[in-house]
Chain A
Amino acid sequence: MKQFIILVITAIFAFSLSAASADEAYITNQGDNTVSVINLTNHQVVATIPVGKSPVGVAISAALSKVFITNVDSHSVSVIDTKNYQVVDSIDIPGSPVGIALSPDSSTLYVADWNDNRILIINTADTQQRREVSIGKAPAGLATSPDGSKLYVANRDSNDLAIIDTASLKILGRIATGAHPFGVTVGPDGQHLYVVNVYENSLSIIDTNNNQSRVIKVGEHPYCVTVSPDSQYAYVTNTQADTVSVISLQQDKEIAKVHVGGFPEGINYDTSTNRIYVANWFDNSVSVIDASSNKLIENIPTGKQSRAFGQFILKTSH
């Protein structure tokens, strides 16, 4: 009985927490030079924030209450305060910043400069403190290991994935992927890397224990990938098919295709609502997919040429 009461109280507490503050999606709009903030409970756009020129990448820190946006055409990173939706800082980046990721403890920001083939490593507490590491051609997607010890880089024009030791900045290895790897994410188990091969219409899944990889066919000209919290499914945006491939990671094959908006790019899974959010470059919108049914629920209008490349969901409920 006592246990039951504790359970009920816990459930009520959890519910009130999630009701009090909703998760938010920060969507970059390349054509408007803005970021749309979407409340993931009611799907309202709660803010539209002017940033630099041609924003692409997103990295989120709940701990710092900050969002970092790469502006490829103004060579900068805009820093947004998530409490008031204001840009509070702009970090100059030499070159063309695209991919962006944070260390799990939010102390370090990684920015890929895909024109000069390097990664900038920036101290978030003092953005003048920087290091850099040269890497393969056109570094695109970035991701960090759950313990923060490794940075993974998809080198688009070298057709491989680099593993960098974040302490020494040594390149520990380069694993061959398919042609033109772009989006990369680390699975929730921390043991698998998911890399999207644009020119091969495929997804590479790399086991980080032995660096062995397997390849799964997806749709036309794929860009980005996200994985369900139970590691059962991967979701890949197929930019030239206007679909999301739902991949069963047990069966290693596509089990559903969900029609979304035109030219879908960035994709994230929201663990609170069990929905998948997709930014559509052609249609200026975000498509919402229900993970339990693999059905499109809604298209939310955003700004021009939505991209949302990276981790764009701010978790406020736990």
Chain B
Amino acid sequence: MKKLLALLAIGMLPLTAAAHGPSPQKVEKTVIIDASPDKVWALVKDFGNWQKWHPAVESTKLETKKNEAGEEETLRLLTLKGGGTLLENLKSLDEEGKQLKYGIVEGVLPVADYYSTISVKAVEGGKAEVKWMGRFYRVYKLNPPIPPGQDDKSALDAINGVYDAGLANLKKVAEGK
């Protein structure tokens, strides 16, 4: 009986929990690469060729389109190795600051309003430091109960996975190992 009450109590939680609106989530990862910042930046800024270094990307289709405001926008359609696609837009490319900004328009990752910056800077010993940051929300923005796979943790796990795998392989490719 005690067990049953405990079970019922757990079952009640989503109903009694207060209404909820999500907070933006952040992932920030850095890696030090034993290669020149110019060499690393050449890989990172090549928006249509991330399959050269990101192990999850099978291929990329790059295109330029006019957005709603009538401005030219660069988009890429990533086909992922596990299946599925991601449509992303290039927001800016800063050659001097070695920083690229992009967002996700739509795709298979369990995130909403995803925005990211990836930058390269020179550090000691002629090495490069790459910093990849993302800001996004979980998919489900309304009150609990949150459907499985649409919560904050699912969103964070996915982006952590993308950044960890990407930066590890970027290091390998740039270092020529």
Looking at B18, B20, B28, the one whose CB has the most chain A CB atoms below 10 A away is B18
Is B133 within 8 A of A72, CB to CB? no
Is A115 within 8 A of B135, CB to CB? no
Whether A263 touches B143, Cβ cut-off 8 Å, given contacts A116-B19, A220-B91, is no
Q: Which of A31, A98, A116, A282 contacts B133 (CB 8 A)?
A: A282
Who on chain B is nearest to A114 by CB?
A: B21
- A-B contacts, 6 listed (Cβ < 8 Å): A75-B18, A115-B21, A220-B91, A241-B92, A262-B133, A282-B133
Q: Which residues of B contact A115 (CB under 8 A)?
A: 19-21, 142-143
Q: Which of A31, A96, A98, A241 contacts B26 (CB 8 A)?
A: A31
Is A282 within 8 A of B135, CB to CB? yes
Alpha-carbon distance between A95 and B23 when the two chains are bound, in angstroms: 13
Alpha-carbon distance between A31 and B19 when the two chains are bound, in angstroms: 21
| Supplied contacts A73-B23, A114-B21, 5 more A-B pairs, CB within 8 Å | A75-B18, A75-B20, A94-B18, A96-B20, A240-B115
Alpha-carbon distance between A46 and B127 when the two chains are bound, in angstroms: 36
Q: Within the complex, what minimum Cβ distance (angstroms) separates A15 from chain B? A: 41
Q: Which residues of B contact A56 (CB under 8 A)?
A: 23
Q: Is the interface of A mostly helix, strand, loop or mixed?
A: loop
User: What string of 1s and 0s marks CB contacts (under 8 Å) between A44-86 and chain B?
Assistant: 0000000000101000000000000000110100000000000
Who on chain A is nearest to B94 by CB?
A: A242
Q: Which residues of B contact A220 (CB under 8 A)?
A: 91-92
B residues touching A (Cβ–Cβ < 8 Å)?
A: 18-21, 23-24, 26, 28, 91-92, 101, 115, 117, 133, 135, 142-143
Q: Which of B23, B91, B92, B117 contacts A262 (CB 8 A)?
A: B117
Q: Within the complex, what minimum Cβ distance (angstroms) separates B25 from chain A? A: 10
**Which 6 pairs of residues, A with B, have the shortest CB-CB distance?**
A96-B21, A115-B21, A54-B23, A95-B19, A115-B19, A75-B18
Q: Within the complex, what minimum Cβ distance (angstroms) separates B7 from chain A? A: 25
Q: Within the complex, what minimum Cβ distance (angstroms) separates B92 from chain A? A: 7
Interfacial residues of chain A within 107-145, with CB under 8 A of chain B in the complex? 113-116
Asked if A281 CB lies within 8 Å of chain B CBs, one says: yes
Asked if A185 CB lies within 8 Å of chain B CBs, one says: no
Q: Which residues of B contact A116 (CB under 8 A)?
A: 19
Q: Which residues of B contact A282 (CB under 8 A)?
A: 26, 28, 117, 133, 135
Q: Which residues of A contact B133 (CB under 8 A)?
A: 262, 282
Is A305 within 8 A of B26, CB to CB? yes
How many chain-A residues does the 8 Å CB contact rule pick out? 25
Asked if A30 CB lies within 8 Å of chain B CBs, one says: yes
Who on chain A is nearest to B152 by CB?
A: A73
Alpha-carbon distance between A221 and B115 when the two chains are bound, in angstroms: 11
Q: Which residues of A contact B24 (CB under 8 A)?
A: 30, 281, 305
Q: Which residues of B contact A94 (CB under 8 A)?
A: 18-19
Alpha-carbon distance between A304 and B20 when the two chains are bound, in angstroms: 22
Alpha-carbon distance between A309 and B143 when the two chains are bound, in angstroms: 23
Q: Which of B21, B26, B101, B115 contacts A72 (CB 8 A)?
A: B21
Who on chain A is nearest to B99 by CB?
A: A242
Q: Which residues of A contact B28 (CB under 8 A)?
A: 282
Q: Within the complex, what minimum Cβ distance (angstroms) separates B155 from chain A? A: 15
Alpha-carbon distance between A220 and B90 when the two chains are bound, in angstroms: 13
Alpha-carbon distance between A222 and B135 when the two chains are bound, in angstroms: 15
Is B91 within 8 A of A240, CB to CB? yes
Whether A281 touches B143, Cβ cut-off 8 Å, given contacts A114-B21, A240-B115, is no
Q: Which residues of B contact A241 (CB under 8 A)?
A: 92
Who on chain A is nearest to B141 by CB?
A: A115
Who on chain B is nearest to A305 by CB?
A: B26
Is B91 within 8 A of A30, CB to CB? no
Is A96 within 8 A of B19, CB to CB? yes
Alpha-carbon distance between A98 and B20 when the two chains are bound, in angstroms: 11
Is B117 within 8 A of A95, CB to CB? no
Alpha-carbon distance between A114 and B23 when the two chains are bound, in angstroms: 12
Q: Within the complex, what minimum Cβ distance (angstroms) separates B31 from chain A? A: 18
Q: Within the complex, what minimum Cβ distance (angstroms) separates B2 from chain A? A: 30
Q: Which residues of A contact B92 (CB under 8 A)?
A: 220, 241
Q: Which residues of A contact B143 (CB under 8 A)?
A: 115
Q: Within the complex, what minimum Cβ distance (angstroms) separates B97 from chain A? A: 9
Q: Which residues of A contact B117 (CB under 8 A)?
A: 262, 282
Alpha-carbon distance between A113 and B135 when the two chains are bound, in angstroms: 22
